[in-house]
Amino acid sequence: MIEKLIRNMDREPLYTYYKSLGYDHKTAVVLSMFTYGDYRYSHLSMDDLYEALCSGDEYLPPEVLERRRQRERSVIRSAGISSYASIHEPPMPKCYKGAGSKSAPKTSSRKAFAPLPFTRKASAPAGVKRGMRSFRMPSFFLNLMDSQDDEDFDEEVLESPMLCSMAVDEADIRSLIRKARFATDEYEPLEEKEARRAAAEPTSTFRMTSNTASAGVILNQLRNGRRIDRSMVRIEEMLNYFHYESELPETDMFRISYEMMDTDPAKKYLYIHVQGREEVRDRQNIIVLLDVSGSMSSNREQTQAMVATIISKLGNGDKFSLVTYSTRDHVELEAFTINGPGDRIRALEKLLSVEVDGYTNGSGGIETAYRIGKENYIPGGNNQVILITDGDLNFGITDKGGLVELIEQKKKDNLFLSVIGTGLMNYKDDKLEALSKHGNGVYRTVNAFSDVKKSIDEEYASLVNIIAKDVKAQVEFNPEVVESYRLLGFENRGLAREDFANDKVISEPFGSGGYGVAVYELKMKEEGVRAESGLKYSRLVTTGSGELGTVRIRYKEPLENVSHELEKVIENTKASFTDNLRLAFIVYVCAEKLRGSEKISPEETALARQFYGELGNSIREKNVADLYKLAGILDKSEEELGIGIRNKEPFIW
């Protein structure tokens, strides 16, 4: 019966994923069918929830609810509360047949066990009368927000059964939904850079990064058929998202490699790959800081999968803490020691009991998470705070500068902060990027189960095990060989030449096995033409070397403040067309198309299509689903992609 229920409710992919993490059948079933945030499930054990499914009833059977009420009465008596009614659930809406109701249907359907769209909330959003429970905006609302036909939009929304139970005026509904039609996402603006002359500016310096967040945002927008604003597209993070062929360093912290190809006699593309070494630490002190404010209500399935994945990675003796925050922060688990499968189950039961509601006091949650991490610090272990949020911090410290100052103070305790962003709307990318950079952690975006598997399950070590911080790159080009260069992406990661050797200038961290990719577009100097400085009072003096340039990487050990430096000479070798170069070129062309950029020609787009057909099986297998989605961009126009047009505000979704 359970197998049929899972199949009928289209929960097989979830069940299979949880089983792949090592969870037993019962746990995988419950995690697939129930999601945290529904107050009906609070304080129920895995056995209770599994029993509810096995009973064949559509909702929790009366005997399960009665056990829960007995536990609540016990809590009330011990707390000295005079009336059980003070914490009893409010009555269910008239159009909803709740748990234990005689009129509740007995047939199984997807709607049966899907989390209720209602959660307790102290104060309602704009347009919703005070005292009513808040509602989670369904996916069809989000799709309709793309509609330009107001009349069709209004009628379909207003006639939705979702609103039948809400005592909200029609005018309030219209106002609320129309506010949501305008994006309130926040991204750092990007200003495209032009090529630099090697004779005048031979060095290119930037913060090297292993982040992939931008690619997660872009792929999520494509999956949902939503518009893409050019500020979302950070080329370097899109390049980092895909898997290339590379070798791990044998002794050094990083292995620097490069490859080149040409698209015409005067233009070359230089691909640079910085691969971090893999490290394993025996002990973990992991603090998950989970945003449970109202804005996170639509992201619960993938968020639950993220936390369950993290818990599955904990070994015996590891410490796990779960801190939630909304209007206030709550410590659900503090330094809970894992000593076997039973402890992982108890941690998951605590997760399922969490409720979603309220404002977003992220700074309060950060303070609490760092306090717990400091008090339970494991010398030589992974001491990591993992923040899961959409970044909509609207209570406590809310401005980016204040949050950065807070993190700068907290990281002195040698704790690291990695950020996982999730959410379709009202996503504050600029704050999350700043938090991860200043918290010496990595930044990723997760909005689907495929994202969870790739960015959390497969790359867990690079998320929690930071091997180096303040990683900077500097490429010096030989003006006798290179006429000009253009670094693709990194617009908001550029540094001054002198910042490279200045240890007070921070950069970004790398996790275990993490890597960063940088690609340059080069214009080569014509043979026989002398390189000139272009300055009035000085002449260019060169060494006569035939090298193309030199790559330098500077970094600090995680708990040190003194930098180490590596370098590799780039020989002016014959260009090749490796799978790494083909893949990087495809990603770059797609990124420029998504930006609505004029930097690429129709010929280069055609070349990217050709490269897609020529990619080897090893690269295809590593990137199959995401690469296929990205390659579809090559055959679509800007209008078909729904790309945001520059200089038009506000940006309509």
Segment 147-184, tens digit of pLDDT: 444 444 445 555 555 454 444 455 555 555 554 445 57
Mean pLDDT across 181-196: 80
Q: What is the DSSP letter of 116?
A: P
Asked if residue 437 and residue 297 are part of one domain, the reply reads: yes
Higher pLDDT, 470 or 183: 470
Q: Tell me, what CATH number does 618's domain have?
A: 2.60.40.1230
Is the same domain home to 450 and 352? yes
Residue 5 dihedral angles phi and psi, to the nearest 5°:
-60, -45
Q: How many helices (H) and strands (E) does the chain have?
A: 22, 18
Whole-number pLDDT of residue 296: 83
Q: Does residue 81 share a domain with residue 104? A: yes
Tell me the pTM. 0.80
311 belongs to a structural domain: yes
Instruction: Supply the range of the domain harboring residue 140.
Output: 118-181
297 falls in which pLDDT band (50, 70, 90)? Answer: confident
pLDDT at position 45, please? 87
Residue 137: inside a domain: yes
Mean pLDDT of 360-383: 90
Residue 279: pLDDT band (50, 70, 90) is: very high
Task: Note whether 176 and 139 are same-domain residues.
Answer: yes
> Could you tell me if 588 and 460 lie in one domain?
no
Q: Please, what is the average pLDDT of the chain?
A: 80
Do 516 and 623 belong together in one domain?
Answer: yes
pLDDT (mean) for 503-530: 91
- Same domain assignment for residues 373 and 519: no
Alpha-carbon gap, residue 221 to 123, rounded angstroms: 30
In this structure, the answer to whether residues 292 and 274 fall within a common structural domain is: no
Distances (CA, A) of 348 to 341, 354, 419: 11, 10, 21
Asked if residue 632 and residue 586 are part of one domain, the reply reads yes
The pLDDT of residue 99 is above 80:
no
Q: Poorest-confidence range of 31-35, 177-181, 287-291, 566-570?
A: 177-181
Say whether both 479 and 458 belong to one domain.
no
Shared domain check, 176 and 232 = no
Q: Tell the burial category of 53 from Cβ atoms under 10 Å away from its Cβ (0-12, 13-18, 19+).
A: buried
Which amino acid belongs to residue 182? F
Residue 161 forms part of a structural domain: yes
The answer to whether residue 509 sits within a structural domain is yes
CA nearest neighbour of 441 among 139, 209, 619: 209
Q: Tell me, yes or no, whether 454 and 481 share the same domain.
A: no
Overall number of domains in the chain: 4
In-domain check, residue 646: no
What average pLDDT does the segment 573-582 reach? Answer: 88
Whole-number pLDDT of residue 94:
33
Q: Which of 411, 440, 464 is the last residue of a domain?
A: 464
Residue at 190 is within a domain: no
- Which of 432, 464, 496 lies at the terminal end of a domain, its last residue? 464
